[in-house]
């Protein structure tokens, strides 16, 4: 098979896989979400097992905690998302009033603008609609929590035996097992750091918007937590509906305060905290982030957008672990040199 034929066959296989993922969206989304949760839950289980806690007891304890967290998050998403959707007509009406008042003010200054054209060109309600659709999509996935939790339990039950199975199937375990260990360690570190910073971001957003008295602060905190997994673009998507709601509900002063809050939180978390612990070596270029958001969002909907960067990050770490594919991982990395920020290992030592 010549190179041209090989390229065509590869492209055809990619198209077939993409259509297959789209056709099986509901099952694939639930499985990917279960795998993502299992990666987060695995380190506490391994930590308990190292302290001689029986496997079954460790898995049971961590799963009870995960069930409590997922039930709480799912209930908040469904309840807050429904309440926000019910209020959307009122917010849309307020947007029309604000645009009309702005057009009248500009007319008094001698600037002639038609209100209908202004609404068509500048329609902030689209951002609120997008937030509502995203939250409804996430809430519908969380409603399938029984299947997700069952899958997580089976994944965690097999996790401890996975290294032994790998050693049995690999042709050269001594040289190939370190690659898998490097990949698993990097992935666990990335997920742990990203989850911690996302949780801190969500809590700070919730507290700040509650102080400003913006409606549904818990909802916007959850949205900030989820979209913080999408660097660069996610923080903007999370901020826009909350800032617009502050403008509609409380006026320009509250909108300015909300904007300043989001800027401060994301600058501190994105430019200080994450680089300090994660390092730029675990980053992705802005173009790759945007393309992964578009591709995974088109294939898997709102959850695909949420998991787009973790999925791409997983592929990058796997490519990095294999010397033969390191060059592809370099192409996915940001343009900044990897030595500009310190890389910190699990023990907290700078590399």
**Alpha carbon distance 240, 255 (integer Å):** 10
Q: What is the largest CA-CA distance in the chain?
A: 79
pLDDT at 105: 73
In a domain, 304, yes or no: yes
Angle at 158 between CA 153 and CA 162, to 5 degrees: 150
CB-based burial of residue 86 (10 Å sphere; 0-12 exposed, 13-18 middle, 19+ buried)?
Answer: exposed
pLDDT at 342: 44
Angle at 190 between CA 186 and CA 193, to 5 degrees: 135
Angle at 91 between CA 87 and CA 93, to 5 degrees: 120
Lowest-confidence range among 53-62, 159-168, 248-257?
159-168
Beta bridge partners of 350: 344
**Alpha carbon distance 351, 164 (integer Å):** 30
- 137-153: average pLDDT: 68
pLDDT at 339: 44
pLDDT at 349: 46
Contact between 182 and 92 (Cβ < 8 Å):
no
In a domain, 351, yes or no: no
Domain ranges, residue 64: 20-340
Alpha helices in the chain (DSSP H): 3-23, 25-50, 55-108, 115-121, 125-142, 145-159, 162-169, 173-212, 217-227, 233-250, 252-268, 274-278, 286-321, 326-332
In a domain, 7, yes or no: no
Give the DSSP letter of residue 51: T
CA–CA distances in Å: residue 315 to residues 164, 282, 284, 335: 23, 12, 11, 18
- Highest averaged pLDDT of the listed ranges 202-211, 220-229, 266-275: 202-211
CB-based burial of residue 36 (10 Å sphere; 0-12 exposed, 13-18 middle, 19+ buried)?
Answer: buried
pLDDT above 90 as % of the chain: 5
The pair phi, psi for residue 335, each rounded to 5°, is: -75, -25
Lowest-confidence range among 46-55, 159-168, 332-341?
332-341
pLDDT at 350: 44
Write the pLDDT tens digit of every residue in 100-122. 777 677 677 766 666 566 555 55
Give the DSSP letter of residue 346: T
Contact between 241 and 128 (Cβ < 8 Å):
yes
Higher pLDDT, 309 or 130: 309
Write the pLDDT tens digit of every residue in 236-268. 878 888 888 888 888 888 889 999 999 999 888
pLDDT at 83: 76
Give the DSSP letter of residue 2: -
**Alpha carbon distance 103, 114 (integer Å):** 7
Write the pLDDT tens digit of every residue in 176-209. 677 677 777 777 777 778 888 888 999 999 999 9
pLDDT for residue 343 is more than 70: no
In a domain, 272, yes or no: yes
Q: Quickly state the pLDDT bin for 314 (edges 50, 70, 90).
A: confident
In a domain, 10, yes or no: no
Number of domain units in the chain: 1
Higher pLDDT, 136 or 163: 163
In a domain, 9, yes or no: no
pLDDT for residue 142 is more than 60: no
pLDDT at 100: 72
In a domain, 346, yes or no: no
Residues 6+ apart with CB under 8 A from 349: none
In a domain, 348, yes or no: no
Write the pLDDT tens digit of every residue in 4-20. 777 777 788 878 887 88
Beta bridge partners of 344: 350
Higher pLDDT, 85 or 142: 85
């Amino acid at each position: 098979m010549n190179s041209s034929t090989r390229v065509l066959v590869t492209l055809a296989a990619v198209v077939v896989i993409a259509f297959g993922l789209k056709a099986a969206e509901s099952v694939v989304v639930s499985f990917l979400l279960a795998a993502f949760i299992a990666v987060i839950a695995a380190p506490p289980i391994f930590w308990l097992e190292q302290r001689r806690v029986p496997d079954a007891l460790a898995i049971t304890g961590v799963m009870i905690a995960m069930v409590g967290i997922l039930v709480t998050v799912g209930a908040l998403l469904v309840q807050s998302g429904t309440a926000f959707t019910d209020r959307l007509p009122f917010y849309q009406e307020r947007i029309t009033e604000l645009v009309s008042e702005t057009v009248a003010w500009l007319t008094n200054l001698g600037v002639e603008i038609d209100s209908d054209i202004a609404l068509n060109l500048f329609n902030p309600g689209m951002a609120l609609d997008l937030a509502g659709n995203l939250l409804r999509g996430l809430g519908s996935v969380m409603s399938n929590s029984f299947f997700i939790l069952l899958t997580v339990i089976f994944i965690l039950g097999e996790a401890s035996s996975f290294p032994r199975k790998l050693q049995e199937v690999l042709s050269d375990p001594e040289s190939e097992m370190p690659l898998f260990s490097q990949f698993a360690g990097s992935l666990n570190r990335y997920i742990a750091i990203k989850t911690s910073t996302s949780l801190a971001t969500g809590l700070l957003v919730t507290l700040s918007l509650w102080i400003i008295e913006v409606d549904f602060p818990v909802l916007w905190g959850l949205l900030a937590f989820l979209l913080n997994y999408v660097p660069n673009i996610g923080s903007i998507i999370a901020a826009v509906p909350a800032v617009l709601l502050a403008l509609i509900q409380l006026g320009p002063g509250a909108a300015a305060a909300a904007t300043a809050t989001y800027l401060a939180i994301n600058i501190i978390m994105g430019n200080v905290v994450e680089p300090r612990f994660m390092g730029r070596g675990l980053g992705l270029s802005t173009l790759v982030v945007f393309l992964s958001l578009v591709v995974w969002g088109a294939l898997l909907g709102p959850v695909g957008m949420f998991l787009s960067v973790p999925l791409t990050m997983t592929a990058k770490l796997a490519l990095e672990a294999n010397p033969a594919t390191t060059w592809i991982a370099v192409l996915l990395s940001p343009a900044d040199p990897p030595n500009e920020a310190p890389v910190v290992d699990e023990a907290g030592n700078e590399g």
